[in-house]
Each structure stands twice: as structure tokens, then as C-alpha cells.
Amino acid sequence: MIEVPNISVPLRDLERAGDEMAAVRKAAQKRLHIAPDAIASLEIRRRSIDARRGRPITVVYTVRCFMRGGTNSERALLSSIGRRGRGPKVEVVEPDRNPVPLVSGAPLSDGERPVVVGAGCAGLFCAWALARQGLCPVLVERGDDAARRTALIDRFDRTGELDCESNIQFGLGGAGTFSDGKLTTGTRSPYHRAILEALVAGGASPRILFEAKPHVGSDVLPRVVTHIAQEVERLGGEVRHRCRLTGLRVEGSGTGRRVTGVELAWRQGRPDPSPDAPVGAPGPERTETLAASCVVLACGHSARDVFELLRDLDVAMERKTFSMGARIEHLQADVDRCQYGPAAGSPLLGAAPYKLVSHVRGAAPAYSFCMCPGGYVVAAASEAHGVVTNGMSLAARDGANANSGILVNVNPGDLPGDDVLAGVALQRRCEQAAYAAGGGAFRAPAQLVGDFLAGTPSSGPGHVAPTYPRGVTWGSLDGLLPETVLDAMRAGIPAMAGKLRCFADPEAVLTGVETRSSSPVRVVRDKGYESVSVAGLFPVGEGAGYAGGIMSAAADGVGCAMAVAGRILNA
């Protein structure tokens, strides 16, 4: 097949055609100077929107074409383009091959089976890749399956009754399940396509295979991650919910230390998924030690007890830069008009996203994070007496508001003392301060942007209604975050409005605090994904400090799985 990039189709042409694929096909034929019937079939490989100011909006495609006549027609086309001199950039490409092939593994004893701790993006896809390699992993997750977890989150939103083991942070799919499922990433990995195809096989829209800014939607992700977990089990793996890591068995000393097993506390039995079922799983919690020479640690950035466990075991960790701030909400219609002008509202464009950063002299940089078009601010607490915010969108992205984090980096040098977990302590203090400012019951403190910039407490909303489900308490964000973070936000919001006019809308809403965008620690590993201080321990994903989103975490998990598989199968 041949691949042709940068086919620009004016939005007005797509709207007139009424059939996007037909319009793209016509544009490809025109670009290649070929007859209408020369293309046997066409596949969109990438779709992005060019909405730069001062230009008509266009949709830009990369396509792959299967030519009638097969290879001979492809060669003739390439020869023709060459004779014309300047022409479209065209290349012959081979069909995709899955870099995580299904293989039949040799039977493994219990001690030889790899154990994966955490079923977030990194852990779930690590277990999926290990299972495809025939290694029958044991995947343990402290939270519930997707159905029960969804019911608990819904009840928390209604009543404020928090299950500290199963919530927006913990449970099958990890924090990404309830944060829109954005798949945009700045990393490049040979595993990206395979990950996207696995998501589509689980029920995600096939459009994620080619959209420049793909997302799944928090209403679709629960069934997607359930399908992937079921695939792990179908291939011989084991998935345990309500199974919490309480310790690591480590033998040896000095540079010769090696992991030999995991200590677990778990409850067997399937919980009642109904919204009014009691918190927790049925039956008493029992403990178990599971022998394992390969342990993948994919605990996520909110598993603070695991960080403490590693520190107590002298596993090499280091402070890393992380971010803090608040959620900012605008009317989605205002964002659409700022981004798309008169074309706002076109179904071919959907709800407009944005990505902003500010660099103001005298203040730290501020940036938008996890922007959720047509979305909602969510209550993302995992500890009692701590308020945490995040954002999500449903697949349709049809909510009235847009929201994103407005965040500022906190660097290791900004933290006091020498405790490697000083960043965790700062996160917790800010979350507890937000809880107190909200008045308890996980209400969140909120302030209008105009009041925030003026240093004045707010007494109520304007035209933007906050979407945080537990309700907000109007007041001030002052004192809830470090002064350097607040100062950078105050400098950054007006600067960002220079790029997105509505960003400094005085009646936009700030809801605090957002503290869990990234991990404040890194578990140090080598190039083979293995801990530098404990052999057989493989820290991966966001919690370990090696990823920053669904795709990068999933790719990190798959890369680790392939390294572990190579070690086991070649032993």
C-alpha cells in the first residue's frame, strides 16, 4: 500500500460532501493525479484539525491507499510522481505487524509466574503483554473491578462515603479510567498501535486509531478495561481484585539483594455491584505470601503506602518534579468560539480542546493539563479528610463546561529536608487544607477567576456553574497551595488569555486542589526496567516516575513485559 501525508480538506468541503470518507478519497485522488477508480480502498491513518488564526479551518489527513492492480500500480504511481519532479510525498509501506505477538509459553510454576502489582494503565497492559507471551501473570489490584468501582464512585459523589481502597484512584484501569481516557502523548513507542488496537477490541471507538487527539470517554473505559482484564485471564493469567500489597520478600544484602515474593492482603468473593451495597468486599481479609522472582511494581502515583514500604526497604528512590494547582472551568461554547470562530458547533469539529503554557518573567511557568472538552470536574480523593480534583469527559464530550488543570511545577529543590517522600507530605497537607476550606464532607473550595486575580474571596457563581459533584464552598484558594504555585497561576492566567481569549473570564471557576497529576518520586531503575537496588523488581508507569499519561504508562508497561518475557523465556 502507499501512504500519503498532509492531505488538507477545507471544512466547508467536508460539510458540503456530507460523507467524510468520500471527501477524503476525492482529495487523495486529486493529490495523486489519478483516476477516480484507481484506489481500491483507503484507510485514514491520522486526522487533525488546523484552526490557526487568519486561515479557513481545514482537516488534515494522512491516508494509506490500496491501489487497483496491487504492487505494479504502486510502482507505476511512484514512477509517475518521480517523472513529474515535485509532487506529493508518497511512500510504500508494509501492513502493520503486532509487536506483541501471541506465543505459546512453557508451563511455569507458581514461583516463576511474574506478579504485576497494580491494574492501572501500566500494570494492566504489562499483564496483557505478559499473557500474550504465554507467561500467565498474576495481576493484583487493591481496588474493585470496573462495575463495582463505578458504583462506589457514584455513591461517593452522592453521599461523601469514601472507600479508601476503591475509588477514582484505585481499581481496575487506575486513575485513567475516570479521567476521560485521553490518549494523546508526546512519546514515541513501537507499542502505541498495538495498545490502541487492544482498546478498540475492548469497545473504544475505532477513531482513536487515527485522531490526532484521541480519547475514549469515562463512560466507555470501564467496559474496555474489563475486556482487557478478561483477555489476560483467557490467556492463562490471574486477576485478583481487593488484593493489596503489604510487603516484599527480599533476600540477600548490599548489591546482591533480590526479590523472592510478595506479601498480600486480600478478600475473596465478588462484591455486590449495586449502588447501595456496603463499602468493601465480603468476607474477612486474609494474608498470603506469593513466591515470585519477577515483580512488576505498577502501583500508581497515589499508592503512598507503597512508597513508604519501599523507603523502609531501602529501595533506591529519588525526588522528582511534580505539579500542583487547581481545575479551571469555562463554558465550552466560549472555548469553541475562541478556537473555531464562525465554524464553532460543527459536528466535524466537536468540542474544542486547548493546550496552553505561560512564561512570565518573575514567575514560574504555568500550563494547562488534562484538558477535558465538554467535561466535568471530578472528586478524586483516596484518603479521608483530603480533597483532590481531576477532570473527565464522556465519549460524547457534550457537557456544558470545559475544564483543565492549571498547574505549576514543584521541583525537588523547593522541598524541605532530605526525606524522599517530602513531595508526598506536601501533597497531603494541601489536600487536607482544601478539605478544611471546603467545610468537610469532601466539598471543594472554589473561587471565581476574577476574584482570584484580585485576591478577593468569592461568594457565589457567575454564568459558569461548577461541576464538582460533592459541591463547592465559595471562598479563596489562598493558603491551600504553595505561594510560588499561586503566584504562577495569577501570572499565567492573563498570559494564557492572550492565546485563548476567554481563559481569563472573570466568572470562570477555579476548584481546588489538583495534586495528583504526577508522582513526586521516582523508583530508580536501569535500562532494562529493573530496580538498581533490588534484582527482580521492575518499577513502571506513573507511580514509579516513568510516564505521564495513559499511552506513555501503557507503553512503559508493555516494554517492561517484553523485557521480563525475554529474561524468563531465555533463562
Residues 374-398: b if buried by 16+ CB within 10 A, e if exposed: bbbbbbbbbbeebbbbbbbbbbebe
SS (H, E, C) 274-308: CCCCCCCCCCCCEEEEEECCCEEECCCCCCHHHHH
pLDDT digits (tens, 9 = 90+) for 119-163: 999 999 999 999 999 999 999 999 999 999 999 999 999 999 999
Looking up cell 489527513 gives 61
DSSP conformation letters of 195-222: HHHHHHHTT--GGGGTBSS-B--TTTHH
pLDDT exceeds cutoff 70 at 326: yes
pLDDT exceeds cutoff 70 at 275: no
Q: What is d(CA 228, CA 197) in angstroms, rounded to the nearest whole number?
A: 11
Residues 486-511: b if buried by 16+ CB within 10 A, e if exposed: bbbbbbbbebbbeebebbbbeebbbb
Alpha helices in 392-482 (DSSP H): 422-438, 449-454
DSSP state of 6: E
pTM listed for this prediction? 0.94
Q: What is d(CA 179, CA 297) in angstroms, rounded to the nearest whole number?
A: 22
440 or 276, which is more confident: 440
- Phi then psi for residue 90, to 5 deg, are -130, 140
User: What pLDDT, on a 0 to 100 scale, did the predictor assign at position 173?
Assistant: 96
User: What pLDDT, on a 0 to 100 scale, did the predictor assign at position 34?
Assistant: 86
User: What pLDDT, on a 0 to 100 scale, did the predictor assign at position 88?
Assistant: 65
pLDDT digits (tens, 9 = 90+) for 209-246: 999 999 999 999 999 999 999 999 999 999 999 999 99
**pLDDT class for 20, splitting at 50, 70, 90?**
very high
Q: What is d(CA 288, CA 138) in angstroms, rounded to the nearest whole number?
A: 13
DSSP state of 535: B
Please, are residues 403 and 512 in contact by the beta-carbon 8 Å criterion?
no
pLDDT exceeds cutoff 70 at 277: no
Q: What is d(CA 127, CA 118) in angstroms, rounded to the nearest whole number?
A: 10
- C-alpha distance across the termini of the chain, in Å: 40
> 363 is written with which cell numbers?
514567575
Please name every residue paired with 264 in a beta bridge, in sequence order, or none if there are none: 245, 288
